Chain A
Amino acid sequence: MKKKIMVIEDNPMVVKSLEFKLKKDGYDVVIAEDGRTAMKFLAETTYDLILTDLMLPFVSGNEIIEFLKNEYPTIPIIVLSTSTQEDIITEAFTMGVDDFITKPFSPNELSLRVKRTLSKTIN
């Protein structure tokens, strides 16, 4: 059965590329363009991994991470962000994210990190 990944991202180019790449890698991909939509989708079905930006409309990435850690603590989270500031990255890891990828990103590297995070969760 295909692993289900939710991508929370508002940049159309990044969304399309991630969707294309992750589908090519054999995942089932659901796109949420903002935090509210993401929460709505989460209430409807379960996901194996969440890939989220930090700068999002309506609900920030940090709020989503907090929500996920409270409501769905077992779902692994990977952050994909333009921020390279150490305090932001540290804060994300403190909140419990599993990985942090900075933009610009290498799609192949992202693919490997997704695979690694999912395999860690299974183990």
Chain B
Amino acid sequence: MSIESLQGLENWPFILKVNLVLSLFFLVLTLLFIALIVFLRIRKNRKEAYRANFEIALIDFFNHYLFDEDFQRDYELGDFKFNYLKTSYDYKIAIKQVLIFDENLKGESSDAIKELFYGLGLFNFLLNDLKRNAWYKQARALYAFSKLGIRVPDHLVEPLLRAKKPELRQQAMLYSLNTSKENPLGFLDILDNELSLWQQVFIENSLINFDLEVPDFGRWLNHDKSSVVIFCIKMVVSFNQFQNIPHLIDVLDHPDAAVRAQAINSLKLMDVSDSLQLMTANFPYESPTNKRAILYAIDKIGTAKDLRTLVSHISKEEENLQIDYYKIASKFDNGIPVHRLIKPETIKQDWPEFQSYAQRMLQGA
């Protein structure tokens, strides 16, 4: 483009000038964007190549440390730490490799891996992470400590059991489960957040898979968090803790309907017919869901007499409950006074078997 033609730009209409400026601006922006993508890609490739090489060096060093009797452990450990562990990225890669080794090896090798963990300064690195405020660093540190079964001072972990981030709370629980031999579920005592369903599943799996001594779950049936009580009720059933049946019956008076529902279902599963007296007494004041649960408890562990006592407490508007009642009553003797409940016009075509049953009972009544 000649200077004359550039001078001619002055005579261009304003809109064309704006167009030209914007075109140049977006061209430069596009080129910068492409350059940024290329730069990031190159950086990522370099980082991955560095990581791959460092992992090979680590594996090689670990293997010598574990299996080479001629290896001068103390000297080589210091040398490796000085030459290779320089940035926090190096530490993170080294920690990951230690975890992989620990996961696959046991016996003397596992002990030697822990020596490496301390010797390379990885313990101190993670301890510093645990003291920081970044939740993901704290969670990562707890994960590594729990996987390796290494204990850290309690005052560093306890506040994290009450952390706002559920992921961090979960890691703190995992840590407690993995490292506490005497009281693996002791963290429930200081928990002031509800346990999510996912956390409940995760704790149960830990109890089954980690070979932990199962505690007496009756201890937490008075916990102020409903989810903890619900979880403990489930565990009482899972681990057949029949000694807690009286506590479970007491839970039928719990202020939270969800807790009562769990207690009803669990007592049903454990065939505790003694609990039916309280269930039927509470029936008029229960939520529709719990009323249904009580009906099915009677179905499994009760008698026609138990069922009969409930008739006056099922209103004609509670159609679903009536259906359940008919269904259960059909399994007992025909002495159930269902005619007092039946409101034929509300029985829909969707439930023909109950409709016919209701009609039959009406005719017989």
Contact = CB atoms under 8 A, between A and B. Distances in A.
B32 interface: no
Contacts of A11: 104
A16 interface: yes
A108 B67 CA distance: 9
B63 A103 contact: no
Interface stretch (B95-103, B151-159, B296-304): B95-103
B323 to A, nearest CB: 43
Interface residues of B, number: 20
B141 to A, nearest CB: 22
Given A13-B59, A16-B59, A17-B63, A109 B68 contact: no
A36 to B, nearest CB: 24
A53 to B, nearest CB: 11
B66 interface: yes
A105 B106 CA distance: 5
Contacts of A104: 102-106, 110
Nearest to A11: B104
A107 B67 contact: yes
B105 A17 contact: yes
B8 interface: no
A103 B104 contact: yes
Interface in A1-40: 11-14, 16-17, 20-21, 24
Contacts of A13: 59, 97, 100-101, 104
Given A13-B97, A13-B100, A16-B60, A106 B108 contact: yes
Interface in A78-123: 103-109
Interface string B73-113: 00000000000000000000000010011111111111000
Contact of A106 (B62, B63, B100, B109): B109
A11 B101 CA distance: 11
B108 A108 contact: yes
B63 A109 contact: no
A15 B4 CA distance: 72
B contacts with A: majority SS: helix
Contacts of A108: 107-109
B103 to A, nearest CB: 6
B37 to A, nearest CB: 30
Contacts of A24: 67-68
B108 A16 contact: no
A105 B104 contact: yes
Contact of B105 (A12, A20, A106): A106
Of the listed residues A14, A21, A24, A107, the one surrounded by the most CB atoms of chain B closer than 10 A to its CB is: A107
A17 B61 CA distance: 11
B105 A105 contact: yes
A105 B62 CA distance: 16
B60 A107 contact: no
A106 B106 contact: yes
A107 B68 contact: no
A12 B62 CA distance: 13
A12 B66 CA distance: 16
A20 B63 contact: yes
A14 B104 contact: yes
Nearest to B62: A17
Nearest to A20: B63
Nearest to A80: B104
A24 B108 CA distance: 17
A106 B64 CA distance: 16
Interface of A: 11-14, 16-17, 20-21, 24, 103-109
17 contacts: A13-B59, A13-B100, A14-B104, A17-B59, A17-B66, A20-B64, A24-B68, A104-B104, A104-B105, A104-B106, A104-B110, A106-B105, A106-B108, A107-B67, A107-B107, A107-B109, A109-B107
Given A16-B60, A104-B106, 11 more contacts: A13-B97, A16-B59, A17-B62, A17-B63, A104-B104, A104-B105, A105-B104, A106-B106, A107-B66, A107-B107, A107-B109
